[in-house]
């Protein structure tokens, strides 16, 4: 099969036939079986030519007659098939030359040559003696079969719930299914673009649809261009686009379309709108990483991000500071005004802090009324300035509750990471600094460097 396919490719017969190895299996298997049966029948002798030959009684010639019928129905002409048959013959001779016993090679080669001569006679006889009416009947049956297959695959194409686009070698839209037309708000019927050729219908709805794919999916231009330049037969990519101010996500499948000879004929594109799935993923990620009450990073996420910043600081020798913050007398607030008011205080603190810290800073709730922040690229001196600004802002904040105005203060401990210290070390020292701030009267900032 590999040898005959290589001959077919070399001499351009795959322009009209498949390049898949298994597509050649049936004819090779059938011809090999016929030759073996003929060899058994004739023994050591060679097949001869008789004027009154009944070709239906010989396995090789009968196979030739059947092949003639099958290929004529496919639209293959006699000259083309006879030309390809020569390379079939050469393939079997190559096999005998390479694998046959030396003393038998010549007789086997003569047997193959004579068998293929008989094969060609039977094939030609079948081809030229078929009545026009019989040939027309076969063509009609073949056309009906092709029409049924076309309708079957068109039904699958149009029924696919995902938008599908077929793009030709020039980058023009060759066809799109019903889901694709709905994506663009086109009022079309199933199969309309296929039967109209993408140009015109009775009511002109499909006229002019054969345009560059960029006109329909400009956001996919770079991906399609990049994929076209690759050797890979298929590619999958997730694409985000801005749709009327909102993010829309598509899972995009691209595949090279090859004709029967293996030549590039265009690109298949299938879109899957995964916007809802992505939204759920974002929601789940938010729930998994965010403190439900305050909107700050939860303890697990905060420690995860803080660890990343410590590793970065260690690797590149950059400063990083840690800030530990606790609400003063929070238990008294809860006991006096109730836990609902206490929750409002926690939310207000988180909201203000997230405004004050940079986007590169990591802020999180690590305990009941305890919060923390890690400040990349920040020395102890700068961290103290940041902490002081946070303390003053929170001290001036007033919560307008139904029965009273609530205000509160915080104590803050800060520490700058030293070489060799890990996250546990700096959290320990920041907590010690916070403890000192509490002991010194609260509503103040204490840096651990000041204590050492």
Tell me whether residue 282 is exposed, middle or buried, using C-beta atoms within 10 angstroms of its C-beta: 0 to 12, 13 to 18, 19 or more: exposed
Q: In whole angstroms, what is the distance from residue 90 CA to residue 60 CA? A: 16
DSSP string across 228-286:
HTSS-SEEEEEEEEEETTEEEEEEEEEEEEE-TTS-EEEEEEEEEE-HHHHHHHHHHHH
Whether 369 is catalytic: yes
Which burial class, exposed, middle or buried, applies to 285 when counting CB atoms under 10 A from its CB (0-12, 13-18, 19+)? exposed
Nearest 5°: the CA angle 22, 28, 32 is 145
Residue with tokens 């002019």: 208
Question: What are the distances in angstroms from CA 76 to CA 125, 325, 331, 344, 373?
Answer: 16, 85, 92, 83, 77
- C-alpha–C-alpha distance, residues 56 and 59, integer Å: 8
Residues 6 or more apart in contact with residue 302 via CB below 8 angstroms: 296, 362, 363, 364, 365, 366, 372
Query: Is 160 within 8 Å of 179 (Cβ atoms)?
Result: yes
The residue annotated as part of the active site, out of 126, 369, 416, 449, is 369
CA separation for the pair 115, 35 (Å, rounded): 8
Kindly state the DSSP code that residue 446 receives in the 8-state scheme: E
Taking a C-beta distance cutoff of 8 angstroms, is the pair 283, 292 a contact? no
> So which residues are the catalytic ones?
369
């Amino acid at each position: 099969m590999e040898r005959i396919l290589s001959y077919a490719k070399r001499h351009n017969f795959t322009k009209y036939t498949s390049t898949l190895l298994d597509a050649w299996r049936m004819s090779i298997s059938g011809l090999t079986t016929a030759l073996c049966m003929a060899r058994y029948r004739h023994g050591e002798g060679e097949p001869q030519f008789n004027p009154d030959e009944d070709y239906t009684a010989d396995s090789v010639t009968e196979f030739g007659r059947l092949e003639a019928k099958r290929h004529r129905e496919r639209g293959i002409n006699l000259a083309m098939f006879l030309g390809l048959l020569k390379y079939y013959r050469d393939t079997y001779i190559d096999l005998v030359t390479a694998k046959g016993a030396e003393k038998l090679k010549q007789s086997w080669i003569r047997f193959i040559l004579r068998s293929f001569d008989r094969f060609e006679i039977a094939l030609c006889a079948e081809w030229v003696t078929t009545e026009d009416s019989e040939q027309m009947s076969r063509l009609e049956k073949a056309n009906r079969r092709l029409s049924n297959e076309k309708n079957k695959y068109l039904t699958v194409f149009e029924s696919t719930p995902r938008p599908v686009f077929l793009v030709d070698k020039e980058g023009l839209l060759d066809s799109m299914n019903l889901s694709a037309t709905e994506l663009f708000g086109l009022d079309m019927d199933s199969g309309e673009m296929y039967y109209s050729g993408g140009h015109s219908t009775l009511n002109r709805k499909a006229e002019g649809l054969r345009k560059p794919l960029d006109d329909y999916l400009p956001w996919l231009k770079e991906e399609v261009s990049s994929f076209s330049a690759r050797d890979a037969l298929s590619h999958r990519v997730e694409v985000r686009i801005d749709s009327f101010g909102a993010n829309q996500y598509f899972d995009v499948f691209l595949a090279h379309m090859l004709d029967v000879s293996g030549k590039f004929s265009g690109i298949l594109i299938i879109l899957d709108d995964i916007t809802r799935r992505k939204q759920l993923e974002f929601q789940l990620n938010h729930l998994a990483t965010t403190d439900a009450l305050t909107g700050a990073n939860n303890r697990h996420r905060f420690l995860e991000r803080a660890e990343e910043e410590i590793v970065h600081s260690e690797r590149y020798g950059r400063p990083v500071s840690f800030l530990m913050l606790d609400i003063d007398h929070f238990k008294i607030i809860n006991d006096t005004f109730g836990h609902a008011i206490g929750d409002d205080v926690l939310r207000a603190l988180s909201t203000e802090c997230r405004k004050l810290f940079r986007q590169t800073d990591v802020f999180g709730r690590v305990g009941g009324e305890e919060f923390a922040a890690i400040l990349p690229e920040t020395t102890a001196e700068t961290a103290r300035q940041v902490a002081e600004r946070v303390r003053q802002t929170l001290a001036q904040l007033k919560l307008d509750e139904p029965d009273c105005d609530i205000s509160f203060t915080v104590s803050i401990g800060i520490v700058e990471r030293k070489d060799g210290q890990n996250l546990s070390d700096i959290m320990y020292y920041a907590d010690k600094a916070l403890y000192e701030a509490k002991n010194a009267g609260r509503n103040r900032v204490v840096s651990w460097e000041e204590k050492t």
